[in-house]
Amino acid sequence: MKPFTALALAATLAAAAAPALAGDTPAPEGAGVYFAGLEDGATVAAPFTVVFGLKGMGVAPAGTDKAATGHHHLLIDRPALGQGEDGAAELDAPLPADAHHRHFGGGQTQVSLDLEPGQHTLQLVLGDMNHVPHDPPVVSEVITITVE
Ligand SMILES: [Cu+2]
């Protein structure tokens, strides 16, 4: 009996941990986000403008239930999405909102960043109406920049 009990418990926990709609929003094939005009390895002077590039999808404010849309998130100084503390579970959960996870729920497509001098990593992640990454996730590469 023990293996069955353990399996049932694991299944129950997995179901409980996954919000109903998490990670269910499909992204069209070929969709992508990218840093427009900001190269990996670039040196910039603060404040600097980061422009969010998006192809194959549209931008819509958070809470908007419309296919093939989402809003931008900027991940600052943290591991690539899916490689953070919660691992792959990050891909199915709403993005946190803190200094390392900036939301642009108004549909903004750029931001002026005033980061401390030194090296920083940046990654763009598109989120659905509920701030959950799409399936498959629409993420940029992680770039490293140096702020003078
Ligand atoms: Cu969001």
Cβ–Cβ < 8 Å for 81, 137: yes
pLDDT digits (tens, 9 = 90+) for 14-25: 444 444 444 789
* Cα 97 to ligand 1 centre (Å): 8
Give the predicted TM-score (pTM) of the model.
0.85
Of all residues in the chain, the percent with pLDDT exceeding 90 is: 84
* Cα 13 to ligand 1 centre (Å): 26
* Cα 16 to ligand 1 centre (Å): 22
Cβ–Cβ < 8 Å for 50, 11: no
Regarding predicted confidence, which is higher, 2 or 107? Answer: 107
137/48 Cα distance (integer angstroms): 27
* Cα 74 to ligand 1 centre (Å): 9
pLDDT at 106 over 90: yes
pLDDT of amino acid 23: 76
Task: Mark 92-119 as b/e (b = at least 16 C-beta within 10 Å).
Answer: bbbbbeeeebbbbbeeeeebebebeeee
